[in-house]
Amino acid sequence: MALLNILRYPDPRLHKVAKPVTVFDARLKRLIADMAETMYDAPGVGLAATQIDVHEQLIVIDVSETHDALQVFINPEIVWASEEKRVYDEGCLSVPGVYDGVERPAQVRVKALDGDGQPFELEADGLLAVCIQHEIDHLKGKVFVEYLSPLKRNRIKTKLVKEERELQRHRQKAVAAR
């Protein structure tokens, strides 16, 4: 297994729309394992393949306290969403250090394939429902900050671009010092 690089907002690759998975092979199994390891290491509760620059409809999620309940959603599709909405404070591994309220349906039913290509349906509420919707947004090329006001979104973008520049400068100094 390997830790994968997570794209950071506002990287334009986060806006690519993912294509359906059609081949269930050893490469896919390895990708699922690597994504799970990356998500747990980050640490996070969900990761979409788009976030690691793989534009396939694949999501890994684990909202358990013990990090031992990995769920895999391939080609996920929300087939029902409740009319009741809730606001949850969301964060994202691609938008580090930023949390803000996003209103979403309180419950969803999702249809997907598991890691072996077997179909399943799942009804979810609470954190799992939020996570499923958040990660499916990634597959559609949407990042949660796009639900925020333009002012908040621009502040976040400016902050993250500045942090990335500082990180690059720090790396260059470290390389030059060798």
* Per-residue pLDDT, 176: 84
On the question of pLDDT at 58 being above 80, the answer is yes
- Per-residue model confidence as pLDDT tens digits over 67-100: 999 999 999 999 999 999 999 999 999 999 999 9
Q: Catalytic annotation on 56?
A: no
DSSP conformation letters of 63-81? --TTS---EEEEEEEEEEE
Please tell me the total number of residues recorded for the chain in this structure: 178
Q: Which residues contact 91 (CB under 8 A, 6 or more apart)?
A: 98, 99
Residue of 90, 123, 135, 146 with catalytic role: 135
Do 48 and 4 contact (CB within 8 A), yes or no? no
pLDDT band at 33 (very low <50, low <70, confident <90, very high): very high
What is d(CA 123, CA 16) in angstroms, rounded to the nearest whole number?
27
Q: Give the residue-averaged pLDDT of 30-57.
A: 97
Q: Does domain 12-148 have CATH number 2.40.50.140?
A: no
Question: Cβ distance 89 to 106 under 8 Å?
Answer: no
The pLDDT value recorded for residue 164 is 87
pLDDT at 110: 98
pLDDT of residue 177: 82
Is 67 a known ligand-binding residue? no
Alpha helix (H) residue ranges in 11-140: 26-41, 126-139
Q: Residue 112, SS3? A: strand
User: pTM of the entire structure?
Assistant: 0.93
- Residues 174 and 178: their CA atoms lie apart, in Å, by 7
| pLDDT at residue 123, rounded to an integer | 98
Q: Report pLDDT for 167.
A: 86
State residue 178's pLDDT score: 77
Sequence ranges of the domains in the chain = 12-148
Residues 105, 124: Cα–Cα separation, whole Å:
10
Q: What is the pLDDT of residues 112-167, one digit of tens each?
A: 999 999 999 999 999 999 999 999 999 999 999 999 999 999 999 999 999 989 98
